[in-house]
Amino acid sequence: MQVLVLNGSPKGGLSVTMQYVKYLARRLPDFRAEIANVAQRARHLEGNPAARSELAARIGSADAVLWATPLYILLVPSQFKRFIDTAHADPALREALRGKSTGSLTTSIKFFDHCAHDYLHGLADELEMRYLGDYSARMNDLTVKTERERLTAFGRRFLAEAAAEVPLPRQHPPLPVVDFRYTPGESVNKLDTTGRRVVVLTDGRPDDHNLNAMVGRFAAALESVEVYNLHELDIKGGCLGCCSCGFSYTCAYEGKDDYTRFYNEVVKKADVLVFAGSIRARQLSWVWRRFIDRSFFNCHTPTLMDKQFGFLVSGPLGALPGMRHLYRGWIELQRGNLVDFVSDDVADSAALDARIDGLARRLVENARAHYVRPQTFLGYAGMKVFRDDLFAGLKMVFQADHKTYKRRGYYDFPHKKRSQRFQAAILTLLTKLPPIRREFPRRLKTEMVKPLRKVLAAEEV
């Protein structure tokens, strides 16, 4: 079976992910992989209709298509997203992909890998492809025999399911079309922003009417706001995955473009950050993703602590829970506070005015109160994954992270909690005694609330 592999890595042939694809081709003679380096060639494909027709023909003659990609910041690399945005908007590529059997294969440290797979699944559903399943490998799984067997089993299942050609259920419903034109009403009072820096980042192009109008409305609601357009910033390219930032947070583009200066001087120094963008191919555009990927020069270190975040999104955001989930996770990892998303899918100008004004007010009030809600599983568990992976070996590549994690106390390993462990060991021993074992369930509820009741008692007036 001829499998056209859409390579999402900006590293092309030197990609870790491609070693998994090549392994499948070696192990399974029927897995005839043809690799298309679409992430590396994304700019060329975007601007060159002939190159797109050629790719459409290659897709057309393949029996199946595999999206194979690394994870970059909870999703796919911006270069791959650029290709996806191009394919999504190109009738010939869409037609070539329609009806093809497909699946997604990622390599990563399994950090929010479910987000990338869910994204690619949704994309495949929207493009009316037959999505057969996903495979998420840790970077070095290929060196482990049982994982090689698992990968081979995936390859076999993929070939068998692709050959079966039976219809498959669609997991992601069709997206509603947002075709309403936003006309902002008269703005009322401007909110006092004294002492707070509010920064809006937008990827609005001149014809993104609703997005630009939403940004305009937001800016009109505040006394002082800085608006930056990502298209106008000096950003020479996407993250190359070279990890040269690992030693001292120094990006390979340092001195070649303005990204790190902008990030350090504007983004890091803001109190309120608003991300404004139109949905392209079920996510923020590749231009937005490039901006986010490039923040990887900070490696795995949170840099946007205590900032208030809001989103102004043009497009069917309500039907894309995966996108909201991803940014909630990313902001929690940054230890910031996600206030809300506002989208024009409300399809009513007065209601949109009220929501934008409300978002502006809540952002400023939260910033004044220095309120950051507690992390959920996303940020809480996520930091533990970073902590363990860094400590276990990644600290060699990411030495700057390692120093910061030590300094900030992010290495909060359970084995360091000595008194807690000692107490648990003694109590465990005591529960071996039959009378204590019998008494234990009776006392558990009271014991659990005891320390909390002490706090309550201290609060009593």
Ligand X SMILES: Cc1cc2nc3c(=O)[nH]c(=O)nc-3n(C[C@H](O)[C@H](O)[C@H](O)COP(=O)(O)O)c2cc1C
Positions touching ligand X (CB under 6 A) are 9, 11, 15-17, 70-74, 107-113, 139, 239, 241, 243, 293, 296
Q: Which is nearer to ligand X, 73 or 132 (CB)?
A: 73
CB of 263 to ligand X, least distance (A): 14
Residues 208, 209, 214, 217, Cα dihedral to 10°: 140
CB of 120 to ligand X, least distance (A): 14
Q: Which is nearer to ligand X, 218 or 398 (CB)?
A: 398
- Cα angle for residues 284, 289, 293 (degrees, 5° grid): 155
CB of 329 to ligand X, least distance (A): 9
CB of 295 to ligand X, least distance (A): 9
Q: Which among 456, 198, 417 is positioned nearest to 307, based on CA atoms? A: 198
Q: Which among 82, 72, 38 is positioned nearest to 240, based on CA atoms? A: 72
CB of 138 to ligand X, least distance (A): 8
Q: In which residue are the tokens 């194979």 written?
A: 68
CB of 7 to ligand X, least distance (A): 8
- Which tokens in the block code for residue 380? 């809480």
Q: Which is nearer to ligand X, 17 or 260 (CB)?
A: 17
CB of 442 to ligand X, least distance (A): 46
CA distance 319 to 173: 8
CA distance 422 to 44: 62
Q: Which is nearer to ligand X, 73 or 360 (CB)?
A: 73
Q: Which is nearer to ligand X, 210 or 285 (CB)?
A: 285
Q: Which is nearer to ligand X, 227 or 243 (CB)?
A: 243
Q: Which is nearer to ligand X, 71 or 400 (CB)?
A: 71
- Which tokens in the block code for residue 7? 């390579």
Residue 313 forms beta bridges with which residues?
A: 277, 343
**CB within 8 A of 288, min separation 6: which ones?**
203, 230, 275, 277
- Which tokens in the block code for residue 105? 């294969």
CA distance 459 to 461: 6
The sign of the torsion formed by the CA atoms of 12, 17, 22, 28 equals negative
CB of 279 to ligand X, least distance (A): 20
Q: Which is nearer to ligand X, 168 or 385 (CB)?
A: 385
**CB within 8 A of 81, min separation 6: which ones?**
75, 281, 283, 285, 286, 289
3-state helix, strand, coil in the chain (%, to 5): 50, 15, 30
**CB within 8 A of 103, min separation 6: which ones?**
64, 66, 67, 131, 132, 133, 134, 135, 158
